[in-house]
Structure 1
Amino acid sequence: MNAGGEPSGSSVPDEEWERFLRDSMTGAANAPREPSARARAVARRMREEPAGAEGWRTYSLARPGPSRKKRWYMVGLLATTVALVILALDPGRVVGWFSDSNRAEKPLGPESHRPIQAPSAEGFRQPTLDEPFRDSPAARWANGTAGITVPEARATGWMSRAQVERALEQTRDFLAAANLDPGALHGGHPEEAIALINPHQQDVQTYLKAAFHSPSEQNDPLLLFSRFDASRVRLVGDVVKTRGRITYLEGERGALQVTSDVTYVYPVAPATGGDEVVRTIVRREVVLSWDDPAKVITEPGTFSLVSYKVDMTNGGCDNSTGYLTPPFGTERAETGAGPDVDPYDRSTSMSERTTPDEGCGTATRS
């Protein structure tokens, strides 16, 4: 019996079955008043089918091929086998399939405030010349100055709204000249950036002269500028990924005090050739003051430096050369003695991040 209570097969001859159907439709005395569902369906089909149509009890003699379901099963089994082989040989690639591998196509919005946590892990694959930001949170960051959020201007201290807007633009220009300018990045003198610093701020001018003439731990140009030795390092591509923001408030003597907190990611390779790629990551906090010329000796269009902090990954530990020195080859195996540090974590302030007494830390990723 089938699920509906009807026989699963029939031993009634064809002639008897057809006679039964004709009697049912003509109202013979011995025919059932209410034919079964099966009888009704067959009778309807007999009426509708044209003469010579294939009978509902006949079957094709052609050998059926494998069902579509079976074919899909075979394809699925093959795909699963291939995936298992790739997982054994290259687990990072498979992890990338199930992580959000398309995040590079979904850029993050501007950073309007400090994040509450570090970005999630992206994967484990190493950067390449074609994909220098592969499996890095920076893949979703903006390029160059587009990644530096500038707030809306409002009248503050001695400045009008228009003056504040101009000062914020010039602050971003300084960050670009100090950290993104191709000439400066290849070891040149960051003249455009230095031109924006108040020339009457004597202690800073003394530092700048010493830093580029005879760099040392005390007078290190890397405190303010990103520079690579072009004879040793080449940048991969022309994109530097950035993420950060500028904020401001009224400072001393009615000045406009501006703070920038920005992380820069530089993909680099050995200048001598090869396909090894290292990401140097630099986070800088620079506080500057746009002073009221009626109260502080300054020059139009320049600011005074208040403070500057820097945190570097793959830039060289205890480095006093005046250049960022990313590790290549066997140098990459060396680690610092300080605490583990996530260079992409912007959830902590630079004051919490920079701990000079702890020595060089170990980056958890790059």
Structure 2
Amino acid sequence: MSEEEWERFLRESVTGAAGAPVEPSARARDVERRLRERPGPPEGWRTYSPARPRRRTGWYLTGLVTAAALLVVALFPQQVVGWFGGKDGGQDGAPLAAESDSPRKAPGAGPDLRPTLAEPFRGSPAARWADGAAGITVPPAGATGWMDAAQVERALRQSRDFLVAAGLNSRVLRGERPAKAIALLNPHQKDVQEYLRTALSSTAPTDKTDPLLLFSRFRPGQSRLVGDVVRTRGRLTYREGKRGAVEVTADVTFVYPVTPAGDSGQDAEVVRTIVRREVVMSWDDPAEVITEPGTMSLVSYALDTTNGGCSAPTGYFVPPFGAADEQSADEAHHVDPYDRSKPIGMGDGTAATGDSCSTATRS
């Protein structure tokens, strides 16, 4: 090696050669490591970084289950009530859905609670029934017989109006003349008009002329309604009848809570008079039958009554005050007045004499 080369070697050893590798410092190595772990632009030292949202799989699952449960309740309300409320979903639970078909069995047993002035329906299936006309189901109307759909709809509405005027009108319940109900009856139907004249004027009605066959009445001096609510459950059905008529059948149970007329105390006795009625009404073709617009003919009418009296007909329901704890030992004459699964008359609670009067298993 020449002297010039040796001198250059010594100089570069002290100052460093251009392009020679340089060992990175500890801070440089740390920055390089962080850049590899977090790609992207570096954060400023005063930059706000929001926390990353956590995954909430449990909440999503809970919401999905809740939505499914609400859908089941909306589609099958009666079944759901039955799952959580015993045999009949609890007598004092949520209101029952409207009756759209004949029930298959009697309502289940509820708590054995006596009615009070504040809660006249407690302890009975009627605690979950609708009030007044709302408990009478009217089916969708379709063209039938001589009527188109709109006419059938009007006939169904007027049929329910008759039931309301005959069994829910407050004046009629106090024994006054059922004028609104009579106005819906065909004035040319002679046998019915004769029945009305006799039943509403006689002081000694018979089984065939008893006004209770069509109208609900209580003698004002003997009993009074508790509050102004009557619970009902039932439905209307219709079909084509004779000579193209539209025949409407009503099957409705009325529950009347009453108390002695002269007892106004807080502990006054409350008795529920339960009346199930079946009325068949014919909306006749005026081209076939003599009738008047907006009126119908009666084909038949029948009733079962519980706690309405077991003596000879008086023209009024006679609740058995003071006999709430009396029960007949003859189980053959026990009836469930809330059982709407059987045809009317299968266990009649109405009787002309006390010996043949059935005893209700509950009221």
Scaled by the length of structure 1, the TM-score of the pair is 0.70
State the match for 2:314 in structure 1: 321
Gap regions ≥5 residues in structure 1: 1-96
Q: 1:107 to 1:330 in 2, by over 3 A?
A: closer
Quote how far apart the aligned CAs of 1:336 are.
9.3
Q: Percent identity?
A: 61
Contact kept? 2:132, 2:229, Cα under 8 Å: yes
Matched, 1:310 2:303: yes
Q: Which of these residues, 140, 143, 147, is aligned with residue 152 of structure 1?
A: 140
Aligned partners of 1:141 and 1:175: how far apart in 2?
17
CA 1:321–1:336: 2 relative to 1, 3 Å: farther
Counterpart CA distance in 2 for 1:313 and 1:182 is 20
Q: Say whether the 8 Å CA contact 1:336–1:362 is kept in structure 2.
A: no
1:267 — aligned with what?
A: 257
Cα 1:155–1:188 shift into 2, 3 Å: same
Q: Deviations over 1:305-343 (max 9, x none)?
A: 000110000001144110000011148637597611000
* Residue number among 222, 225, 243 corresponding to 1:232 in the alignment: 222
Distance (whole Å) between structure 2 residues aligned to residue 226 and residue 257 of structure 1: 23
8 Å Cα contact 2:238/2:249 also seen in 1: yes
User: Hey, what does 2:357 align to over in structure 1?
Assistant: 360
Report how far residue 104 of structure 1 moved: 3.1
Provide the rounded CA distance (Å) in 2 between the counterparts of 1:298 and 1:332. 50
Q: How does 1:341-356 map to 2 (within 5 A)?
A: 341-354=335-348
The match for 2:41 is none
1:91-170 equivalences under 5 Å are 103-170=91-158
Q: In the alignment, what sits opposite 2:333?
A: 339
CA contact (8 A) 2:350 2:358 kept: no
* One-letter identity of the residue aligned with 2:148: S
Q: Distance in 2 between matches of 1:331 and 1:316?
A: 13
Residue pair 2:207, 2:313 contacting (<8 A) in 1 also:
yes
Q: How does 1:290-309 map onto structure 2 within 5 Å?
A: 290-309=283-302
The whole-number CA distance in structure 2 between the counterparts of 1:251 and 1:260 is 15
Q: Deviations over 1:23-56 (max 9, x none)?
A: xxxxxxxxxxxxxxxxxxxxxxxxxxxxxxxxxx
Contact 2:129-2:231 at 8 Å conserved across structures? yes
* Contact 1:185 1:226 survives alignment (8 Å): yes
Contact (CA 8 Å) 1:336, 1:361: kept in 2 or not?
Answer: no
| Runs of 4 or more consecutive aligned structure 1 residues displaced over 6 Å after TM superposition | 97-102, 355-358
Computing the radius of gyration from Cα coordinates, the structure with the larger value is: 2
User: 1:209 and 1:180 mapped to 2: Cα distance?
Assistant: 21
Q: 1:197 aligns with which of 177, 182, 185?
A: 185
Offset, 1:352:
3.4
Residue 360 of structure 1 and its aligned partner are, at CA, apart by: 1.6
Q: CA RMSD in A?
A: 2.2
- Please report how far the alpha carbon of residue 195 of structure 1 lies from its aligned counterpart in structure 2 after TM superposition: 0.8
